[in-house]
């Protein structure tokens, strides 16, 4: 990962305005950026954008053998990928600390908090279970990746429906979506992460932007971190704590954490409500057979956007008569190629071997000696 440097004057400026109660983008301390969720055509695919931070989540499923220690449970697998698309500082095909950290946080929040009913994913005990795979692709990293990725994970899991199966004797039949209505995943509770940036050991900023995150985790000129850090809190809709993670300088007072949890609780509840609402409205649209697609996400009246529906061109109507028999095709080919005598000989030489050789030794080798070249130059 390439380093991103922030100049001292940028740092001191942002610290100064923060101490006066302002943020660079004009938000309050407690204000989050706008959250929007759009769904793709498949079940379990969504793009969540939090301000300019954008994350794509896709859930896929396949039938596998269960783990031996948990023979009656399905498997949940979370995979986070941060490609150079997220920002120029990221390199291709390289796991960064950030992606490992993000992966672990999401696993803590969704696997370890047991929010998914894994037992319902079992088909045949010890033989066949559903394995769910959540692929998180970071499209744009503009700060607070954790919150955005966690919303995307939860939304895609709640939106996802797996195909129905019927067991008949030994065999298991997996029905296509057209044959039988798919089954939604059972979620016991809806945990969501909220991130706070800590400044000077006492200011809490909710939903920090990329710049704020970089400033609060970076050290000052003297190499000492001046009480900055990032606090991640995972809570479900019942305001139960699922995840707590802190990085950066030590927090002096327990009051700060307490304050963060109280404000996160209301925020998480709000987010979960919004997720549920968007899934319900998406579901009603799908029932009305409205085609939902990521293409709907593209804005229409933006200066940098363009929509064209009437892409017509007048061309001659033409039909390639390709249904002529293949033997005919071969015959015409022979006729075409016969007049020209072949330049090559096909000979069977050694056992098991055949060769194509050029007929006459018509080598057109021209030696360009360096002398003649020098002559040309002079």
Partner 1 sequence: MSEVYKLIHPVKFFNDYISKNVRPDGRSFSEQRNIKLNVDAIKTADASALIKCGNTSVICGIKLELATPKAEEPNKGFLITNVELPPLCSSKYRPGPPSDSAQVTSNIVSDIINNSKCVDLTDLCIVPDKLAWVLYCDMLCLDNGGSLVDACIITLMASLKTLRLPTVTYDPETEDIKVDTNVQTKLKLNGLPIATSFAIYKYMDRNVTLVDPSSYEEDMCGGLGANLILCYNKGFLCSSQKFGGSNFSVDCEEKALKIAKERAQLAEEVIDVCIKNYESKTNTV
Partner 2 sequence: MITDNDELKDFKLRPMKCECNYLNRSDGSAILSQGQTVAVVSVNGPLDIKMQSQSIGKATLEVLFSSKGGKPSIGDRYKEHVIRQTCESAILGCLYPRTGITVTIQELEDYGGFLACCLNACCLALLNAGLAMRHTFAAVSCAIDEQGNIQLDPAPAQLETSRATMTFVFESREKSLVTAFTDGSYSDSAYSEAMERCRSASDLVFQFYKQIVSKYSYVIG
Q: How far is CA 88 from CA 4, 53, 116, 141, in A?
A: 10, 14, 35, 10
Closest approach of Cβ 123 to partner 1, in Å?
14
Closest CA to 66 of 124, 141, 143: 124
Neighbour-count burial for 49-70, b at 16+ CB within 10 Å, e otherwise: bbbebbbbbbbbbebeebeeee
Closest approach of Cβ 322 to partner 1, in Å?
8
Other Cβ atoms less than 10 A from the Cβ of 320: the count is 5
Residues 67 and 127: their CA atoms lie apart, in Å, by 9
**Tokens standing for 212?**
């704020």
Residues 45 and 325: their CA atoms lie apart, in Å, by 46
Q: How far apart, in Å, do the first and last CA atoms of the chain sit? A: 53
- Partner from partner 1, partner 2, none contacting 291, C-beta within 5 to 8 A by type: partner 2
Closest approach of Cβ 89 to partner 2, in Å?
9
Which position among 21, 26, 88, 351 is part of the footprint of partner 2 (CB under 8 A)? 88
Closest CA to 39 of 295, 328, 348, 217: 295
Which position among 354, 360, 375, 378 is part of the footprint of partner 1 (CB under 8 A)? 354
Binding window for partner 1 (CB under 8 A); candidates: 92-100, 106-114, 286-294, 325-333 = 325-333
- Note whether 136 and 79 are within 8 A (CB): yes
**Tokens standing for 45?**
């695919």
Between 176 and 370, CB nearer to partner 2: 176
Closest approach of Cβ 77 to partner 1, in Å?
22
Between 318 and 365, CB nearer to partner 2: 318
Between 39 and 233, CB nearer to partner 2: 39
Between 178 and 350, CB nearer to partner 1: 350
- Note whether 42 and 292 are within 8 A (CB): no
Instruction: Note whether 356 binds partner 2 by CB under 8 A.
Output: no
Please return the burial class of 10, using the count of CB atoms within 10 Å of its CB with bins 0-12, 13-18 and 19+.
middle
**CA-atom Rg of the chain in angstroms:** 31
Binding to partner 2 by CB under 8 A, coded x per residue (else -) over 34-73, reads ------xx---x-x----x-x-x-xxx-------------
Residues 88 and 90: their CA atoms lie apart, in Å, by 5
Between 116 and 134, CB nearer to partner 2: 134
Closest approach of Cβ 378 to partner 1, in Å?
16
- Partner from partner 1, partner 2, none contacting 337, C-beta within 5 to 8 A by type: partner 1
User: For binding to partner 1 (CB under 8 A), which residues are involved?
Assistant: 326, 329-330, 332-333, 337, 342-344, 346-358, 363-371, 373
User: For binding to partner 2 (CB under 8 A), which residues are involved?
Assistant: 2, 40-41, 45, 47, 52, 54, 56, 58-60, 81, 83-88, 92-93, 133, 135, 137, 139-142, 210, 291, 293-295, 297-300, 302-309, 311-324, 329
């Amino acid at each position: 990962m390439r380093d991103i440097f922030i100049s001292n004057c940028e740092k001191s400026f942002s610290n100064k305005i923060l101490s006066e109660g302002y943020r660079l983008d004009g938000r309050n301390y407690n204000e989050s950026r706008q959250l929007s969720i759009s769904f793709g055509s498949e079940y379990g695919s969504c793009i969540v954008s939090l301000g300019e931070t954008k994350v794509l989540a896709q859930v896929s499923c396949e039938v596998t053998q269960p783990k031996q220690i948990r023979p009656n449970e399905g498997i949940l697998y979370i995979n986070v990928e941060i490609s150079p698309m997220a920002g120029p500082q990221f390199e291709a095909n390289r796991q960064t600390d950030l992606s490992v950290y993000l992966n672990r946080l999401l696993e803590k929040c969704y696997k370890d908090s047991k929010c998914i009913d894994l037992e319902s994913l079992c088909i045949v005990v010890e033989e066949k279970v559903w394995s769910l795979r959540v692929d998180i692709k970071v499209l744009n990293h503009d700060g607070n990746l954790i919150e955005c990725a966690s919303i995307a994970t939860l939304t895609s899991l709640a939106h996802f429906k797996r195909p129905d199966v019927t067991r008949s004797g030994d065999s298991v039949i997996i029905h296509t979506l057209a044959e039988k209505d798919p089954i939604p995943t059972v979620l016991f509770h809806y945990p969501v992460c909220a991130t706070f940036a800590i400044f000077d050991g006492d200011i809490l900023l909710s939903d920090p932007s990329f710049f704020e995150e970089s400033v609060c985790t970076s050290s000052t000129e003297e190499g000492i971190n001046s009480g900055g850090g990032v606090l991640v809190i995972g809570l479900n809709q019942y305001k139960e704590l699922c995840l707590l993670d802190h990085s950066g300088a030590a927090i002096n007072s327990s009051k700060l954490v307490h304050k963060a949890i109280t404000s996160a609780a209301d925020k998480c509840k709000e987010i979960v409500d919004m997720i549920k609402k968007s899934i319900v409205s998406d579901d009603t649209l799908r029932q009305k057979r409205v085609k939902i697609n990521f293409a709907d996400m593209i804005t229409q009246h933006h200066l940098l956007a363009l929509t064209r529906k009437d892409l017509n061109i007048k061309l001659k109507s033409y039909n390639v008569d390709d249904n002529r028999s293949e033997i005919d095709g071969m015959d015409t080919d022979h006729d075409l190629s016969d007049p020209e005598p072949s330049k090559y000989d096909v000979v069977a030489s050694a056992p098991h071997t055949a060769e194509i050789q050029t007929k006459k030794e018509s080598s057109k080798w021209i030696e360009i000696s360096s002398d003649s070249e020098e002559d040309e130059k002079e």
